[in-house]
């Protein structure tokens, strides 16, 4: 687990950001007054705000981690160029958790005791969140995740855990099930990874389809480390009208290719979560069979005809072109459907710190930050929230927003349906505000 410090100065380059500039660079930035900065008379208040980025640099989440790191660097540069947070520059310290729950808890400990960060942010994979969050709660360390699982909203974690920049699976599938039922079919076979994230899909999509008069004819759970899927595909019943797939990890391309080999030209309707193809080029050979299939996207990978000025701004800043690839390498495909959550989460953190007057790492400051987060209710679409407007619930610490359903055609995806925020709302049963700080 290596330490990297993101401390943007004059310019943000791939080399300076990802290789890091060391503690000395961080100290140099802390003393540099950028436009908009307010000088503080006491040295302790002019020190950087330290954010620990718990990153999946290795393991099955590495493709996401690579882009979470880039987006974080870009957002930090924007924030620092505009004056930082409360007149203080932001410094991001990175630790690799290997996409492993046990290492995740160790990273939380290291951030708190060795790096002495103000908060921890960025965790994606749900089993790592679940393995790490209890230690963050014990340490009374704000733990702000950019995941999708229902783990935060369920109330199963603790008061220090938030998910304010990306929606959860329950909300996503609740919003989309009516469209799937009305447009693709009602008899569904589900293929999902056999861990918490996949179980959320299993539980909440099946419930949402049943509410639409649909039927789940088969559920196929696959270990997240599986490298071949041919032995699972024959389990798909012939009565299947819609194949629902959501796979993750380095073997996603193998899964989609083997699915095409299995079906050939005779197939049911196919609805997938873009997780099955994040960081994968749609023009990869053998993916032609995906033409005419549908995907959920948290944020459309391809710039749409009605692209907003905010999406244009965001793409430019994070270095992504109109096709969802790196502007420096067209073969380097982004994880565009998820990584916006890093950008938006950092701006929510900034807002809450400014609301609470956050000035240090005292228990009072951290408690004030938590209470400020809980007081938030909505985020307007804009440069800070380019994916769209959102509603935040301070009781279950979860944000709600729009979802996108896109159709594959001609080697790209175009949005055919955008849900309303209200479509993804469900009964709130958790209330973290009743827990002690």
Same domain, 140 and 8: yes
Same domain, 176 and 121: no
Domain count for the chain, please give it.
Answer: 2
Q: Is residue 75 part of a domain?
A: yes
CA–CA distances in Å: residue 84 to residues 96, 141, 165, 280, 364? 25, 21, 19, 35, 21
Would you list the DSSP string of 308-361?
Answer: -HHHHHHHHHHTB-TTSEETTEEEEE--HHHHHHHHHHHHHHHHHHHHHT--SS
Give the integer Cα–Cα distance in Å for 144 and 129.
Answer: 10
Question: What is the three-class DSSP state of 408?
Answer: strand
Same domain, 154 and 280: no
Q: Is residue 330 part of a domain?
A: no
Q: Is residue 108 part of a domain?
A: yes
Same domain, 282 and 173: yes
Same domain, 18 and 39: yes
pLDDT of residue 252: 79
Same domain, 344 and 201: no
Give the integer Cα–Cα distance in Å for 72 and 51.
Answer: 10
What is the DSSP secondary structure assignment for residue 186, as one 8-state letter?
A: S
Domain hosting 396: range is 4-166+337-400
Same domain, 386 and 406: no
Beta strands 143-144 and 269-273, pairing class = unpaired
Q: Is residue 383 part of a domain?
A: yes
H/E run at residue 402: none
Give the integer Cα–Cα distance in Å for 401 and 175.
Answer: 10
Same domain, 216 and 182: yes
Same domain, 157 and 180: no
pLDDT of residue 264: 84
Q: Is residue 381 part of a domain?
A: yes
Do residues 95 and 107 lie in contact, with contact meaning Cβ atoms separated by under 8 Å?
A: yes
Give the integer Cα–Cα distance in Å for 299 and 402.
Answer: 9
Q: Is residue 323 part of a domain?
A: no
What residues of the chain score a pLDDT lower than 70? 1-45
Task: Report residue 56 as tokens.
Answer: 């999946």
Q: Is residue 49 part of a domain?
A: yes
User: For residue 111, how many C-alpha atoms fall within 13 Å in the half-sphere facing its CB?
Assistant: 37
Q: Is residue 347 part of a domain?
A: yes
pLDDT digits (tens, 9 = 90+) for 142-200: 999 999 999 999 999 999 999 999 999 999 999 999 999 999 999 999 999 998 889 99
What is the DSSP secondary structure assignment for residue 386, as one 8-state letter?
A: T
Contacts of 68 (CB under 8 A, 6+ apart): 53, 55, 56, 122, 124, 146, 335, 339, 342
Q: Give the residues across from 436 on adjacent strands.
A: none
Same domain, 92 and 214: no
Would you list the DSSP string of 82-122?
Answer: TT-BTTB-EEEEEEE-TT-HHHHHHHHHHIIIII--SEEE-
Question: What is the three-class DSSP state of 285?
Answer: coil
Instruction: Give pairs for 284-288: CB < 8 Å, separation 24+.
Output: 284/253, 286/257, 286/260, 286/261, 287/256, 287/257, 287/260, 288/260
pTM, two decimal places: 0.89
Task: Report residue 53 as tokens.
Answer: 């980025």
Give the integer Cα–Cα distance in Å for 17 and 4.
Answer: 8
Could you tell me the CATH number of the domain that includes residue 98? 3.40.50.2300
pLDDT of residue 105: 98
Q: In what order do the strands lie in the sheet with 412-418?
A: 215-222, 187-193, 242-245, 269-273, 294-297, 404-409, 412-418
Give the integer Cα–Cα distance in Å for 343 and 426.
Answer: 25
pLDDT of residue 286: 80
Query: What are the φ/ψ torsions at residue 218 (nearest 5 degrees)?
Result: -160, 145
Do residues 196 and 149 lie in contact, with contact meaning Cβ atoms separated by under 8 Å?
A: yes
Same domain, 272 and 420: yes
Do residues 208 and 235 lie in contact, with contact meaning Cβ atoms separated by under 8 Å?
A: no
Give the integer Cα–Cα distance in Å for 391 and 167.
Answer: 10
pLDDT digits (tens, 9 = 90+) for 280-337: 999 988 888 899 999 999 999 999 999 999 999 999 999 999 999 999 999 999 999 9
- Size (the chain), residues: 437
Do residues 61 and 99 lie in contact, with contact meaning Cβ atoms separated by under 8 Å?
A: yes
Handedness of CA 353, 358, 359, 365 (dihedral sign): negative
Give the integer Cα–Cα distance in Å for 200 and 271.
Answer: 17
Handedness of CA 298, 302, 303, 306 (dihedral sign): negative
**Quick one: which of 215, 203, 162 has its CA closest to 396?**
162
Question: Using CB atoms within 10 A of its CB, is residue 166 exposed (0-12), middle (13-18) or buried (19+)?
Answer: buried
Same domain, 25 and 49: yes
pLDDT of residue 39: 32
pLDDT of residue 408: 96
């Amino acid at each position: 687990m290596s330490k990297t410090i993101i401390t943007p100065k004059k310019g943000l380059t791939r080399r300076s950001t990802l290789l890091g500039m060391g503690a000395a660079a961080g100290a140099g930035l802390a003393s540099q007054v950028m436009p908009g900065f307010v000088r503080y008379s006491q040295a302790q208040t002019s020190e950087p705000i330290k954010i620990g980025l718990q990153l999946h640099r290795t393991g099955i989440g590495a493709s996401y981690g690579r882009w979470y790191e880039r987006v974080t660097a870009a957002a930090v540069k924007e924030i620092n160029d505009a004056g930082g947070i409360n007149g203080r520059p932001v410094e991001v310290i990175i630790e690799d958790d290997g996409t492993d729950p046990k290492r995740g808890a160790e990273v939380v400990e290291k951030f708190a005791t060795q790096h002495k960060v103000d908060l921890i942010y960025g965790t994606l994979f749900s089993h790592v969140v679940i393995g790490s969050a209890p230690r963050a709660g014990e340490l009374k360390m704000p733990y702000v995740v950019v995941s999708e699982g229902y783990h935060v909203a369920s109330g199963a974690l603790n008061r220090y855990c938030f998910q304010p920049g990306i929606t959860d699976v329950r909300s996503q599938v609740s919003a989309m099930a009516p469209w799937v039922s009305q447009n693709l079919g009602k008899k569904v076979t589900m293929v999902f990874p056999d861990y918490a994230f996949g179980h959320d899909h299993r539980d909440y999509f099946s419930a949402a389809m049943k509410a639409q008069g649909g039927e789940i004819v088969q559920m196929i759970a696959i270990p997240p480390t599986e490298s071949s899927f041919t032995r699972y595909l024959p389990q798909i019943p012939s009565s299947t009208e819609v194949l629902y797939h959501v796979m993750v990890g380095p073997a996603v391309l193998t899964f989609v290719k083997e699915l095409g080999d299995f079906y050939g030209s005779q197939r049911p309707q196919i609805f997938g979560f873009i997780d099955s193809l994040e960081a994968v080029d749609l023009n990869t050979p053998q993916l032609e069979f995906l033409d005419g299939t549908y995907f959920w996207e948290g944020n459309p990978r391809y710039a749409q005809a009605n692209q907003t000025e905010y999406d244009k701004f965001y793409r430019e800043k994070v270095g992504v072109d109109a096709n969802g690839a790196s502007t420096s390498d067209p073969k380097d495909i982004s994880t565009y459907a998820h990584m916006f959550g890093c950008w938006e989460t950092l701006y929510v953190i900034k807002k809450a710190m400014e609301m609470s007057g956050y000035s240090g790492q005292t228990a009072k400051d951290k408690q004030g930050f938590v209470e400020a987060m809980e007081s938030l209710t909505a985020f307007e679409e804009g440069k800070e929230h380019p994916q769209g407007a959102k509603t935040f619930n301070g009781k279950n610490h979860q944000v709600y927003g729009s979802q996108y359903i896109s159709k594959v055609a001609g080697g790209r995806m175009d949005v055919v349906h955008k849900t309303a925020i209200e479509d993804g709302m469900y009964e709130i049963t958790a209330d973290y505000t009743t827990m002690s700080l």
